[in-house]
Amino acid sequence: MGCMYCEKNNSTRDKALMRITELKSSVLYLCRNQAHPGHCVLALKEHIPSLQECTEQQKADVSADLGMMTGLIRKIAGSSCLAVTAAVNRDTADHLHYHILPQYAGEDDPLSGEDPDPVFPKEEECAEMAEMFRVLIQQEIQKTAGQESKSAE
């Protein structure tokens, strides 16, 4: 068995995740189990097992990707969202990836509480969510680029 984040076609991955887009250093997926609404997975583009083995540049890039995504999810979820947790390598240990897990008011900590029953939205609903993320990510990237060019002036 190859690595599910590296193989072009991998049925285990495709059953669990829907590809959203590529970010700077990572690939973003929507988790098909939406028991935590907004649950995404961010996997490093390269096959590196852990942050310790990343170069400083890779570390900086992956934390920028994570920061953008956790901020974006907080923005979408609004005030009902208490926190967005990034849990590293929950299901496979050999390829660095993060589960981005929003926690809503009245919910247990997604990492210490029991896993809620799985919720699988329909394929079209997943596709709609993935598209919404793509649009919002594009806006975030443009905004950041605008700020950078302004501060360079």
Buried b (16+ CB within 10 A) or exposed e, 93-106: eebbbbbbbbbeee
Contact characters 44-63, Zn ion, x per CB under 5 A:
---x----------------
Query: Toward Zn ion, which CB reaches closer, 53 or 108?
Result: 53
Q: Does 98 bind Zn ion (CB under 5 A)?
A: no
Query: Toward Zn ion, which CB reaches closer, 26 or 70?
Result: 26
Residue 102: CB minimum distance to Zn ion, A: 26
Residues paired with 41 in a beta bridge: 29, 99
Q: Does 93 bind Zn ion (CB under 5 A)?
A: no
Residue 25: CB minimum distance to Zn ion, A: 14
Cα(39)–Cα(120) distance, rounded to whole angstroms? 12
Query: In this structure, are residues 30 and 43 in contact, taking their beta carbons and an 8 Å threshold?
Result: no
Q: How many helices (H) and strands (E) does the chain have?
A: 3, 5
* Listed ranges 33-41, 68-76, 89-97, 144-152: which one lies at the site for Zn ion (CB under 5 A): 89-97
Residue 48: CB minimum distance to Zn ion, A: 8
Query: In this structure, are residues 42 and 100 in contact, taking their beta carbons and an 8 Å threshold?
Result: yes
> What residue type is 29 in one-letter code?
Y
DSSP 8-class letter at 32: S
Q: Does 6 bind Zn ion (CB under 5 A)?
A: yes
Residues near 120 by beta carbon (within 8 Å), at least 6 away in sequence: 32, 33, 34
Q: Does 5 bind Zn ion (CB under 5 A)?
A: yes
Residue 49: CB minimum distance to Zn ion, A: 9
Q: Which residues bind Zn ion (CB under 5 A)?
A: 3, 5-6, 47, 95
